[in-house]
Amino acid sequence: MNKIYTIAIIGTGARGAKAYGRLIYKSPDRYKITHLCDINPTVLNTVGDEFCVPAENRFENPQEFFAERRADVLVIATPDDCHVEHCLSAMKLGYDILCEKPLTDKEEDCKALLETQKKYGNKILVCHVLRYALSYLKLKELLDSGVLGRLVSLNWVEPVGYWHQAHSYVRGNWRNTAHAAPMILAKCCHDLDLIQYFAEAKCKSVSSIGGLTFFKPECAPEGATMRCSDCALKDTCAYSAYRIYVERWKANGSPAVDWPYNVLVTEPVTEEKILNAIKEGPY
């Protein structure tokens, strides 16, 4: 019989629970989710109930969680600015690790991670998950087969839609580089990874530019209020949170479980919860 790997997850939000946790939970013959850690008790307990993790194995305090090794594998899906610290703590405890991207935007952090990994010998996989999307696997297969000829140039675009830009990079978790990685890592690390994967060569230089062109007070339409919920333009403005979250959600059939609505509110998603979130929350 194959070994059943025990899995702990730190950061039980969109990625940790809804993406990896649910996938892991579907394979009880291979994995068992045994421990969870999240600083948000509501999220922690909702996810703990969903994955049948006993109350004594749910940790609100990361320090307490890292007091000892809890499982074979640790999934690190905390926000960007926690990855290095959590990865270093986990390596020292001997975990094999699945860590969300991006690892870090600092060279000294990369060196510290590499040195610690060499010392403790852990297996670590960073979630550059697009490599495993069927379309990209097919593209790699075609390139390797030679049917397209020799690869000499790649023209690559990461198309972030205007509302996704507003959702994630203006209002959401990645709105500020004080807390999150910049766009070149937050979004484009997948592209950087894929380009190197397809080109089978290391990158020689990278540059990145950007700006908050539209997202400045002086660019707000006349009559705009602080919040979309009470704005006269809420039915017409392209960036209206009311249109992006309420109208789109309704047009999609008012799903109880769906991104990005489940980022604003806990599941099951309801109209009342969304209206409250755009009135009171960061969106």
Are residues 73 and 99 in contact, defined by beta-carbon separation less than 8 angstroms?
A: no
Stretch that binds ligand NAD, among 78-86, 131-139, 191-199, 235-243 (CB under 6 A): 78-86
Residue 233 or residue 261: which is nearer to ligand NAD going by CB?
261
Query: Tokens 């852990």 label which residue?
Result: 122
User: Is residue 173 near ligand NAD by the rule CB under 6 A?
Assistant: yes
Nearer to ligand NAD, 77 or 194 (CB): 77
Q: Does 36 bind ligand NAD (CB under 6 A)?
A: no
Q: Is 192 in the site for ligand NAD (CB under 6 A)?
A: no
Q: Which residues in 155-191 are b (16+ Cβ under 10 Å) and which e?
A: eeeeeeeebebbbbbebbbbbeeeebbbbbbbbbbbb
Nearer to ligand NAD, 12 or 122 (CB): 12
Binding-site residue total for ligand NAD (CB under 6 A)? Answer: 24
Q: Applying CB under 6 A, which of residues 8, 9, 11, 166 lies at the interface with ligand NAD?
A: 11
Choice from 37, 73, 74, 246 touching ligand NAD (CB under 6 A):
37
Among residues 14 and 237, whose Cβ is nearest to ligand NAD?
14
Structure tokens at 78: 């905390």
Question: Could you give the CA distance from residue 35 to residue 261 in angstroms, rounded to a whole number?
Answer: 27
Least spacing, CB of residue 276 vs ligand NAD, in Å: 18
Bridge pairing between strands 31-37 and 5-10: parallel
Q: Whose Cβ is closer to ligand NAD: residue 182's or residue 255's?
A: 182
Contact string (CB under 6 A) for ligand NAD, positions 97-126, x = contact: ---xx-------------------------
Q: Is 13 in the site for ligand NAD (CB under 6 A)?
A: yes
Q: CA dist 266 to 24, 52, 104, 231, Å?
A: 21, 18, 28, 25
Give yes or no for residue 87 binding ligand NAD (CB under 6 A): no
Q: Are 10 and 18 in contact (CB under 8 A)?
A: no
What Cα–Cα distance (Å) separates residue 79 from each residue in 11, 172, 178, 195, 202?
8, 12, 12, 25, 27
Residue 127 found at the interface with ligand NAD (CB under 6 A): yes
| Residue selected from 39, 160, 199, 237 as contacting ligand NAD according to rule CB under 6 A | 39
Q: What is the largest CA-CA distance in the chain?
A: 67
Distances (CA, A) of 182 to 8, 102, 106: 28, 10, 12
- Pick one of 62, 91, 188, 240: the residue that binds ligand NAD (CB under 6 A): 62
As a whole number of angstroms, the distance between CA 174 and CA 160 comes to: 13
Q: Contacting ligand NAD (CB under 6 A), which of 72, 82, 92, 93?
A: 82
Q: Collect contacts of 104-108 with beta carbons under 8 A, ≥24 apart.
A: 104/181, 105/181, 105/182, 105/185
Q: For ligand NAD, which is the closer residue by CB, 55 or 147?
A: 55
- Residue from 9, 33, 75, 77 binding ligand NAD (CB under 6 A): 77
Residues forming beta bridges with residue 98, ordered by sequence position: 75, 125
- Chain residues binding ligand NAD by CB under 6 A are 10-16, 37-40, 43, 62, 77-80, 82, 100-101, 127, 129, 173, 186
